[in-house]
Structure 1
């Protein structure tokens, strides 16, 4: 048995609860923390960095179901966390774009492994349902990081008369991301650059199709013999 496989076996008990833990952390980061912290405040940034780091680490645990991929995901996640920590020491203009890029890569890899678990053949379990919800929220977080990166790299990629688009805080972009994902579209932030518009269009499309696809998949799995709350054999 390889070292990677032995490590995966040791964290197997943690993996069983990792989907639920990831979902809880995502809910806190997206909906709870912004409610109790001021935008652009040091405490708000600390909370965001801590929660995003915990989300990446929990995502690494969920990926251990696929041992070979989990090594790469763990390395990328650790780099993303290290860059996030370094951003407290080095100037923002040197680290902000790199912080978003590494977080995007790590979160993207984690979302792929979660999607593979959610849509894989097998019984409909609570773990699979938690993963499906977590993946939907994670899509919003990934797009928030992408929007912030575009706003850094492209001057005036977004137009807003009320919100600070140049902030180091991702809370502005989480807000815009989820209004786009749910197609609420309040209009207080408007994508102007072609790259920003393409991202917004793609996220809105995912926001419309994902719930229907997941619902259809879970119903299909259930009809073939799975039942909610039943663990994998």
Structure 2
């Protein structure tokens, strides 16, 4: 198993993040659920750092961001408190965006498409979605009430709600019932929309072009 993880870290990262989409709704709440949420976050952080290590970027930068974020998640699990979540979210957002940069460099480094690079297309997309969701968490902590929803509009939005907003924004589907009402929150959402369009236009189109056999001249 370990050789496979080292050989195809992007595939493992994508699989775990997709599993997270199904598991997160059951990990929201107090007590054991919050501890499981923190533990799962630590696993994802470790895989992100591993993905950075496999990409043409500096591993020490990933460790410098991942280690303190992991410590904060452990403290949250022990204390059963969400007070440190915005701080760990800020570190995780930076790490996810740095890992995104590394995976894009990894995918565009040559003209040969490997299986792991194809998995990296999906993993990079989820990294960006997670990164912006963590940015939303940080901004909501700074400016409470920046995001409202159809259900309980006055409450702070949960992690799953903000992640749902991030995915619907990045994919340009616009299906989210979570709405940014603070001007700066709307600016963040607009930036994510631009990133989503640029990602599809640049990365996916280039990889698709490389996988299509060229006609002999």
Q: Normalising by structure 2, report the TM-score.
A: 0.84
**Does the alignment pair 1:29 with 2:12?**
no
Q: How does 1:140-155 map to 2 (within 5 A)?
A: 140-155=129-144
**Does the alignment pair 1:19 with 2:10?**
yes
Q: Which residue of 2 aligns with 1:197?
A: 186
- Structure 2 distance, partners of 1:51, 1:117, is 26
The answer to whether the 8 A contact 1:33-1:44 is kept is no
The answer to whether the 8 A contact 2:27-2:36 is kept is no
Which of the residues 84, 97, 105 maps onto 2:94?
105
SS of residue paired to 1:183: coil
Q: How does 1:177-196 map to 2 (within 5 A)?
A: 177-186=166-175, 188-196=177-185
- Structure 1 distance, partners of 2:85, 2:66, is 16
Identify unmatched segments of 5+ residues in structure 2.
none
Structure 1 pair 121–67 and aligned structure 2 pair: CA distance change class (3 A): closer
**Does the alignment pair 1:166 with 2:156?**
yes
Aligned residues: 211
Structure 1 pair 108–159 and aligned structure 2 pair: CA distance change class (3 A): same
Q: Which residue of 2 aligns with 1:5?
A: none
- Select the structure with the greater relative contact order (CA < 8 A; seq sep ≥ 6): 1
Q: How does 1:201-212 map to 2 (within 5 A)?
A: 201-212=190-201
CA RMSD in angstroms comes to 2.6
- Structure 1 distance, partners of 2:68, 2:144, is 27
**Does the alignment pair 1:138 with 2:127?**
yes
SS of residue paired to 2:172: coil
- Structure 1 distance, partners of 2:81, 2:107, is 40
**Does the alignment pair 1:156 with 2:133?**
no
**Can you list the C-alpha shifts for 1:139-184, whole angstroms capped at 9, x where unaligned?**
11111111111111013212234157526x5112111111222223
Q: Normalising by structure 1, report the TM-score.
A: 0.79
Identify unmatched segments of 5+ residues in structure 1.
1-10, 226-233
- Structure 2 distance, partners of 1:193, 1:184, is 21
Q: Which residue of 2 aligns with 1:3?
A: none
**Does the alignment pair 1:49 with 2:38?**
yes
**Does the alignment pair 1:71 with 2:46?**
no
